[in-house]
Structure 1
């Protein structure tokens, strides 16, 4: 005779949980993970939506969510989050990166978690993050309108000065250009006074003083024919049919990196590393260097574009770099003074 013992409610629930466990596990395996990345608005956001997000989904079944924020806004938003990171990954230029490091906004970066680590030059990786795009800064000019300049000093002479377009310290490329101009007149990385003095002397002759975003349009429209800028802007204008060439100044080209970082305390660490690994992968880097994005790739297996002033990433070690821990404390005053004194 078999006696049926009464089941308690707890026993019923435990049994149901055991029966459901395999189905839950299967559902969890099929569910995509996700990562939230801060990204620059505009071309960066479009490029990452078109190329990074699909590649991340295919390779790792990770969904990419993006928050369109400029670098200073990323730092400000994280600072206001009070320990609850608003995104998993930063993307930053050197100035805001130095600020974020100083304020403890990053988790330590473990490059061993990247399958593509060996394909990125060692100099582009450190304890806080990894380069995802290189920038090279020099002089751009219209070869049909002007002779080829040798360096920054030519910008202050005829025939170049009357066709010159300038912008201030509001961007990384503008800041490093004006620092390099200051150096040729006796200044330094922390003393831009000589650059401002010389610019003020020729200000009546200069063709245009512009916001950074407007300067490419002025070059395209022929309102100015020479400026300091980066190779990405030159490539983009060439794609539009503008007559423009990039010149490495005789004092050397300047370079800086845009870098990716883990936000301090981010919850989706594994997905964040997969996202970063995808960004620096060969296929994605190759796609991002093509028009209309024109990024400089950081993956050594991707051939550099023929219009770049180097044949390999290793050559960038010879380019001029700057210490943003010294620049950051001074930059706000530089921006204010340029805007006040150079407005036309």
Structure 2
């Protein structure tokens, strides 16, 4: 987990106007821990599974603040030394920004009862992975042959059934970087990807926001896209005809990580919360429908639909350096939205 960039001021402020107001000091209940959590499925999963386990094991109440990753960084930055929550949950880009800005306490994994069951590559001095993401190509096997890789998405029969999304998510960003690479680009040069996409834009089935794309796939408005295994498994659970294909250039992986906020006053409860989130029982439950997380605990057997049989295999997957990506991502988002609109 090596990352340390800046986030553009505009990207940091996007969607965070409400956070600009002066923040009152947080009044935390005794015997509780406050965790930032992603809205939607993550909040539901942690309320249903992590909170009861934390209460049962340690008699600690879990309080949650539903915030997307960029909003967590912005809210902490506005808190002026009074952390608004005890723990972050972040994807690689915002994690790198928060790390550079000194928003984390040093992390001592030896305080976790589950430490031995977590692969060493998923832990560092600042935090621990709580969910792995694997990104590749999703397709409808009843309508399309299995694509070999990203290059196929620009050819028939795939291109006219392609659902496209931009740099607004981590999976979208890494997919478009991988597309850029096959056309001569790099981790910092996405020009070739956008140039090739503009050529085929009139043929593409849909250009959509990340949140809307799974629904379009389910409705049959597109039949191939780039996404993560969690989305594929969730749609499959709903009866959608969908399979995951590992591109010939390799699947991409990244971690969602937990961190203790700088200035956290209840360190013991924060460690117990994190330990509960990565424990065998909770990780096993998170892997099951409707949540379909990829577990990080080695004692949990991986689901049959995943493109690996052990967490160790993920060391061979493609990863990216977000210290290079973050400074460019804001302008990439703008450019995609401007050039790829249909």
| Same structural fold, with TM-score higher than 0.5 when normalized by the shorter chain | yes
Alignment of 1:111-130 (within 5 A): 111-130=109-128
Alignment of 1:158-197 (within 5 A): 158-197=156-195
Secondary structure of the 1:136 match is strand
Residue-by-residue CA offset, 1:290-313 (whole Å, 9 max, x unaligned): 000000000000000000000000
- Residue 297 of structure 2 aligns with which residue? 299
Alignment of 1:260-299 (within 5 A): 260-299=258-297
2:222 is aligned with 1:246 = no
Alignment of 1:82-101 (within 5 A): 82-101=80-99
Secondary structure of the 1:203 match is helix
CA distance in 2, matches of 1:298, 1:33: 27
1:153 to 151, 154, 158: 151
Residue-by-residue CA offset, 1:294-340 (whole Å, 9 max, x unaligned): 00000000000000000000000000000001000000000000000
CA distance in 1, matches of 2:317, 2:31: 40
2:284 is aligned with 1:315 = no
CA distance in 2, matches of 1:79, 1:196: 34
Q: Contact 1:134–1:298 (CA<8 Å) still a contact in 2?
A: yes
Q: Contact 1:289–1:295 (CA<8 Å) still a contact in 2?
A: yes
CA distance in 2, matches of 1:47, 1:333: 33
Secondary structure of the 2:318 match is coil
Residue-by-residue CA offset, 1:197-246 (whole Å, 9 max, x unaligned): 00000000000000000000000000000000000000000000000000
Q: Contact 1:32–1:61 (CA<8 Å) still a contact in 2?
A: no
CA distance in 2, matches of 1:128, 1:327: 20
Runs of 4+ in 1 over 4 A off after TM superposition: none
Alignment of 1:58-97 (within 5 A): 58-97=56-95
TM-score normalised by L of structure 2: 0.91
Secondary structure of the 1:204 match is helix
Q: Contact 1:288–1:295 (CA<8 Å) still a contact in 2?
A: yes
- Residue 222 of structure 1 aligns with which residue? 220
- Residue 57 of structure 1 aligns with which residue? 55
Residue-by-residue CA offset, 1:7-26 (whole Å, 9 max, x unaligned): xxxxxxxxxxxxxxxxxxxx
- Residue 201 of structure 1 aligns with which residue? 199
Q: Out of 31-40 and 208-217, give the one that drifted further.
A: 31-40
CA distance in 1, matches of 2:245, 2:106: 38
Secondary structure of the 2:175 match is helix
Residue-by-residue CA offset, 1:119-164 (whole Å, 9 max, x unaligned): 0000000011000000000000000000110000000000100000
Secondary structure of the 1:46 match is helix
Answer with 1 or 2: which has the greater Rg.
Answer: 1
Q: Contact 1:130–1:259 (CA<8 Å) still a contact in 2?
A: yes
Q: Contact 1:280–1:298 (CA<8 Å) still a contact in 2?
A: yes
CA distance in 2, matches of 1:268, 1:38: 15
The answer for unaligned runs of 5 or more in structure 1 is 1-30
Cα distance, 1:32 vs structure 2: 6.2
CA distance in 2, matches of 1:282, 1:110: 19
